Structure 1
């Protein structure tokens, strides 16, 4: 005779519990049409029926951080000329954004001195400016919106810089200063586009090797912080060239109007593209990708880099099926053990609670994002999806999403194994101190977690483990795994001219941008 508990469990499985009003819907509240990827698209990479891709492929953004002291509104700045602190009178110098500048009265101070300033701001009453766009073309939010004064006071005296020599196109042609120019490459196809950059598939004419080329207009990155971010992306690209699961850099060069990153071409498409077809992944597939991503993040962390932009869009698959992380525009470098930062940035759905709370944070935010991404792979939806949110304008905002991330309990689907549920709870712990990967054991806690028990980590890092999925590719230039909305675009770059836009660009900001990867260079010499 069947026991009472057997009958009870059978009945419970066939009659799911209803959702608690006002709470995050449990897995039982979602039918197939309400998943992250609701149905199979007409063609790979095309939107599903009724799907708004902008909901998922949201760009990362940075919110400008302001420091208010004694009426001043300070913002971190970098100085390319001699500047002196108004408090201690010493010169402001160093790498990156060395000091603070009041956006109202233009007072210049060291970062260490800004809290000691006694002189009140000469213009406290200001009108808010229009919301400014950041490097990715996204609007900044009210948390850190800029302000401007009614009257621009005279700035503190600085040693005037020597007038820059006019930059000519011929000055940027190949020569002793670098090895590559745009003429060295054949432009084949557009494979991606952002608010401030375009990505092309190109061929190096001399070797016939195929690369991806990221093109950025200088006119869009003339802000002090934007220039710093471009330099950071270049440095991280150089570092990433030494790891099998990170997209590496071939070379950098520039023209009077543009910056060019020549990087590895990864042919298999991104995880978002493949999740649109699969909807959710088998547990062994998600485990494999999560393990390779963990190794890539650990490599960056050991070298003092916080990635800060892990999402399905930025996880690429190579022709064998191994992952490669890309897009280092949100990275923070130079982070030593115990160091923290406080920049409010990231892609909304992946932002960690400590960032939303305005706390100082470190590498913990990357492990949170890995938890969100792993949840998406296993459940086919975001852990923060709200049923019917698209029909409720009040629930379809970033502020509401941030509230959900901070306050709501994350429900783990019952269909997942105990080990999978455990690793998700570990990564998605709202307390960064208790989060998986952030304790005393750090990365070893991830390696030793039961969910990853079957992973041979050394073999995995050497790419000796066969991937669970291999993208279908017919050749080196096969673009079947890239959205046709990009690949159908005409391939052209508007030529440089003597327009006022180029004349207004301070070319000295981009000195030293040229670079050639010595390892790739030696390989090409053997061709």
Structure 2
């Protein structure tokens, strides 16, 4: 009995000792040091540790036996999920091996084709991603205040040229038929405005790369607006531009020019000369009242409209701002029509227009120029100074009196500058108010042909303005009173 008690006590002491060792082992923080410590342990300690593991296992089994059915099912489900996940990974691995094996069997061409397809898909996905980023950035930019610098915004830029043009400002809405005139400025084409089939004259001016003719084109478009105030000046319906050209849409004078009339008839009757030159007087006086000197008055620039009335055209060489004592300079105009002061390269005023007007009147009466237009400007000047015009016998006394006053060498004595030309006896039968309102019947009325009477010819022009350096600022306009625009 006493032996049994001693053994029992010995076993209890060993159990307590084992428990203390177990607690001591569990409290060690560094698990990596355990293998080294295990080597240092005695065989008895190792045996004791193995027994403790077996006891722990039995205790875990006992605890599992105490768990509820629901807890057991939850544990089983978790274990099953882990097993299925491991099985799925195993299947994926097998599938990858199968694909690798199949790829190895494919020819190099097939491999390249597959790689190209994959690369295209990757580039497409990358492009879509970048597009998405751009759209997002654009939306962010639009959401910012355009005037708030703190938000990175800026003031909206002014558009150079409207993308959606009104119909009269689109060259595609015009049909071209024939050339009416041409020169250093460009050319004038007979055309029609397609929506209404109205015949018009289109002046086409090429833009020079060095912009040297930009000011001339801008000036002419500007003066054509001023010209609307006088019925005897050529009117414009619209002005617009393309990348390389500038267009002026003008009224079409179906009676052609006085030059063509002179060429057909040789010389004109006195009554017709009086009528046409009287209307020219009204037109020139209107320009001069606006400070404009035409500087290229001649029969070629004097047209006859459908009703037989005069239209002075071509303001490309005109000078602006010539009021009172103001003067301008420069050798402008056409040889044979230039005033002496222009040939001398002196400063001059509106008197140069009255000289050119006198040359035109003489040419209408005789069919020729009074002075030679050939040679240098010095030679032309001496031809005027030394030679007197030959006045035919059939000229009326009134014309014989008027012409020398117009062709006066000294501009300050020239009629038009010195004295009112309307009061000269040559125009004694003219009722100026009736004339200004176009109530005086013209010598003949050319009428207006139909656009259907002409054959269209194709014309090619450049696209709309895209570059700031080729843009004529504030050039385009449409006459709001243009009835033919539809």
TM-score range, shorter chain: 0.5 to 0.7
Aligned to 2:82: none
Counting only pairs closer than 5 Å after superposition, residues 261-280 of structure 1 correspond to structure 2 as 261-280=248-267
Larger relative contact order (Cα-Cα within 8 Å, sequence gap ≥ 6) = 1
Instruction: Indicate which of 437, 453, 457 corresponds to 2:416.
Output: 437
Are the equivalent residues in 2 in contact too, given 1:196–1:216 (CA < 8 A)? yes
Instruction: Indicate which of 449, 452, 462 corresponds to 1:475.
Output: 449
Separation (CA, whole Å) in 2 of partners of 1:213 and 1:262: 5
Larger Rg: 2
Aligned to 1:492: 459
Could you say which structure has the higher strand fraction? 1
Are the equivalent residues in 1 in contact too, given 2:351–2:411 (CA < 8 A)? yes
Whether 2:159 is the aligned partner of 1:180: answer no
Change (3 A) 1:296 1:173: same
Counting only pairs closer than 5 Å after superposition, residues 153-172 of structure 1 correspond to structure 2 as none
Whether 2:297 is the aligned partner of 1:310: answer yes
3-state SS of paired residue (2:332): strand
The CA deviation at 1:490 is: 4.4
Aligned to 1:236: 223
Change (3 A) 1:396 1:303: closer
3-state SS of paired residue (1:186): strand
Counting only pairs closer than 5 Å after superposition, residues 63-462 of structure 1 correspond to structure 2 as 173-175=163-165, 180-219=169-208, 222-223=211-212, 226-385=213-372, 399-439=378-418, 441=419, 445-462=420-437
Change (3 A) 1:411 1:189: closer
Aligned to 2:481: 519
Are the equivalent residues in 1 in contact too, given 2:198–2:451 (CA < 8 A)? no
TM-score by length of 1: 0.58
The CA deviation at 1:357 is: 1.9
For residues 134-186 of structure 1, the C-alpha deviation after alignment (integer angstroms, 9 at most, x for no partner) is: xxxxxxxxxxxxxxxxxxxxxxxxxxxxxxx9x99xx554349x962112323
Are the equivalent residues in 2 in contact too, given 1:250–1:516 (CA < 8 A)? yes
Separation (CA, whole Å) in 2 of partners of 1:266 and 1:490: 20
Separation (CA, whole Å) in 2 of partners of 1:206 and 1:488: 17
The CA deviation at 1:373 is: 0.3
Whether 2:469 is the aligned partner of 1:506: answer yes
Separation (CA, whole Å) in 2 of partners of 1:195 and 1:175: 29
3-state SS of paired residue (1:301): helix
The CA deviation at 1:219 is: 2.4
Separation (CA, whole Å) in 2 of partners of 1:468 and 1:183: 38
Separation (CA, whole Å) in 1 of partners of 2:365 and 2:340: 22
Separation (CA, whole Å) in 2 of partners of 1:206 and 1:489: 15
Are the equivalent residues in 2 in contact too, given 1:190–1:490 (CA < 8 A)? no
Are the equivalent residues in 1 in contact too, given 2:192–2:451 (CA < 8 A)? no
Separation (CA, whole Å) in 1 of partners of 2:431 and 2:341: 32
The CA deviation at 1:199 is: 1.5
Change (3 A) 1:346 1:371: same
The CA deviation at 1:195 is: 2.7
The CA deviation at 1:511 is: 1.4
3-state SS of paired residue (1:424): helix
Separation (CA, whole Å) in 2 of partners of 1:239 and 1:221: 28
3-state SS of paired residue (1:381): coil
Are the equivalent residues in 1 in contact too, given 2:434–2:440 (CA < 8 A)? yes
Change (3 A) 1:372 1:179: closer
Change (3 A) 1:351 1:507: same
Separation (CA, whole Å) in 2 of partners of 1:333 and 1:365: 14
Could you say which structure has the higher helix fraction? 2
Aligned to 1:464: 439
TM-score by length of 2: 0.62
Are the equivalent residues in 1 in contact too, given 2:240–2:477 (CA < 8 A)? yes
3-state SS of paired residue (1:210): strand
Are the equivalent residues in 1 in contact too, given 2:220–2:315 (CA < 8 A)? yes
3-state SS of paired residue (1:198): strand
Change (3 A) 1:524 1:312: closer
Separation (CA, whole Å) in 2 of partners of 1:372 and 1:257: 37
Separation (CA, whole Å) in 1 of partners of 2:245 and 2:275: 38
The CA deviation at 1:333 is: 1.3
Separation (CA, whole Å) in 2 of partners of 1:452 and 1:427: 14
3-state SS of paired residue (1:200): strand
3-state SS of paired residue (1:348): coil
The CA deviation at 1:446 is: 0.8
Change (3 A) 1:516 1:462: same
Separation (CA, whole Å) in 1 of partners of 2:274 and 2:452: 27
Separation (CA, whole Å) in 2 of partners of 1:179 and 1:470: 28
3-state SS of paired residue (1:286): helix
Separation (CA, whole Å) in 2 of partners of 1:291 and 1:312: 14
Separation (CA, whole Å) in 2 of partners of 1:469 and 1:193: 27
The CA deviation at 1:489 is: 9.9
Separation (CA, whole Å) in 2 of partners of 1:422 and 1:374: 13
